[in-house]
Amino acid sequence: MHEDPEFEKQIRQRMEELKFSPSKTVWDNLEKEITKEKRRRRPLLWFSSFLALCVAGYFLLNTNYNRHDGSMSAARETGATSSAQEKNTSPNQDKTNSNNSNDENATLNGTGNNNNNTKLKESSPTNSNTADQLSAANHKKETINPDKVNMNKTGRVVSESPDNLVAANNIYNQKDDPSKSVEKKKMNPVDETMKNEIVEDQLAANKSNQQNVPNSKASTDQNKNASVAHKDDNSKKVVSTKPESKANPVNQKKKNQTKRPWEFGLTGGAGESSINENLFNTVAPSRLDPNAYTQSFSLAAAPPRPTYNAPSSVKGAFSYAAGLFAQKSFSDRMGFTIGLNYHYASVRVEATTYGYYAAAPQERSYTNRYHFLELPVSVFYQFNKKHRFPIIWEAGATVGQLIGSDAVHYNIATGNYFKDNSLFNRTQINAATSVMLGIHANKHLYFQVGPQVQYGLTNLLKSDANGSQHLFFGGVKFVFIPNKK
């Protein structure tokens, strides 16, 4: 059957004239929706601004850390080189060198013979210089170890604990004079042959002085991390203002019987991590032995060693986490989440280096970094059911595995920092909680954002000798659920 164009034309013309006056409620509802829209944009604006600030802050922090780390790395290389060279340096050279350097390596305190300006790592053959060495020798990986003690031709003991000394040198040897390296290249062939015998003698002699030596403590700086977990449910936007009476009862019933499927999403967070003695107090410098500096001097009758690092303060530093999660609701308000996160935490160690020849103490800082893989499990509760901006409280625990760290520990006996990852409790259990605001940016984009705290229930270190050290994280948590039902 062919269409009659005239028919369609007339229908079209007639229908153009069809007009009805809408009821007043249409505009009223529309006005409400428009106002809501405006309000809805505000949190988005705030969130965008916040994100921009976070990104800017992150880059700023990163820039600062990189600059700092750059200088530290340079120091490490320089320090390592000089320490290797120093053990072969003759007394005369030592003297010359030490006069040129004021804040050399921070290793052993041994103050050799009076005005003999020995450089670090040198100690006199007398017993008076060995207090710190002995205490360190008692410590697993710290300073003195028979295999790690060298003596030069003149009978001076040169200790070298690979981890310990390298770290110490690394951190505090920024001012090495390149010219010294050349001089130090003159090796003493007798050193090697005499080394073992002298070391044994030295240790035997030192034993008698052990009771005077302060207990060796390795103070470590650590940090912590974050976890994360999950999210929740929220209300769906309803544009239509159709009265309830119009709702299809069959649909209502279906809605009530809706299954709650697993939902998957991304989570992340950024903030500051620190090391706490307990939930409310950070590790104070005093915890690292406030008298260490004094003690080290009192142990030696002779003048102090060339350099000494006073116990540092540990300050919070940048931390972030990112991961995936799956969540399932028990009801309209409650559910649980499980996920897998990578968590980076860091703390800033600030130490004061006292150089015997330096005019004034020098402030140095170092960033301890910790990398964790975490398995967060948590339950969540939504306070305002079906609200457009749901408020969700979440609480749970994470099991974390320390997968890497470049953190340094403090040796109170030697006043040095050293690395030893074996001192860490690699498995960490943390408690975490957060309160988040859910935002439906659009039909396919739902996210939550809010403050989060996480506290390490397990001690960061295996040994309790250094007291309680628990990682603490405080920051902002983000959760993103694509295509949220």
19 or 259: CB nearest other proteins: 19
Contact string (CB under 8 A) for other proteins, positions 250-289, x = contact: xx--------------------------------------
State which of positions 382-441 bind other proteins (CB under 8 A).
none
Confirm or reject binding of residue 21 to other proteins (CB under 8 A): yes
Nearer CB in complex with other proteins: 26/187: 26
| H or E element, residue 91 | helix 91-100
Q: Angle at CA 268, nearest 5°, toward 262 and 274? A: 135
Binding string, residues 37-76; x marks residues near other proteins by CB under 8 A? xx--------------------------------------
| Interface characters, 225-244, with other proteins (x: CB under 8 A) | --------------xxxx--
CB of 439 vs other proteins, minimal distance in Å: 17
Which bin fits 24, alpha (ψ -120 to 50), beta or left (φ > 0)? alpha
Nearer to other proteins by Cβ, of 115 and 248: the residue is 248
Contact call for residue 24 and other proteins (CB under 8 A): no
Q: Which of 26, 44, 182, 457 binds other proteins (CB under 8 A)?
A: 26
Choices 27-35, 45-53, 132-140, 418-426; region in contact with other proteins by CB under 8 A: 27-35
Contact 171, 73 (CB under 8 A): no
SS (HEC) of 96-163: HHHHHCCCCCCCCCCCCCCCCCCCCCEECCCHHHCHHHHHHHHCCCCCCCHHHEEECCCCCEEECCHH
C-alpha–C-alpha distance, residues 336 and 328, integer Å:
6
Type and span of the H or E element at 86: helix 24-86
Residues near other proteins (CB under 8 A), total? 35
Q: What are phi and psi for residue 184, nearest 5 degrees? A: -70, -10
Non-local CB neighbours of 86 within 8 Å, separated by 6+ positions: 94, 97, 105, 119, 120, 121, 122, 158, 184
- Closer Cβ to other proteins, 179 or 483, answer by number: 483
Three-state DSSP at 196 gives: helix
Q: How far is the CB of 389 from other proteins (least distance, A)?
A: 18
The rounded distance, in Å, linking the Cα atoms of 478 and 200 is 59
- Of 239 and 360, nearer to other proteins (C-beta) is 239
Q: How far apart are CA 90 and CA 188, in angstroms?
A: 7
Smallest gap from Cβ 10 to other proteins, in A, equals 6
The one segment of 63-71, 139-147, 245-253, 358-366 that binds other proteins by CB under 8 A: 245-253
The stretch near other proteins (CB under 8 A) out of 20-28, 54-62, 367-375, 425-433 is 20-28
**SS3 of 23, please?**
coil
- Residues forming contacts to other proteins in the complex (CB under 8 A) are 1, 3-4, 7-8, 10-12, 14-15, 17-23, 25-27, 29-31, 33-34, 37-38, 239-242, 246, 248, 250-251
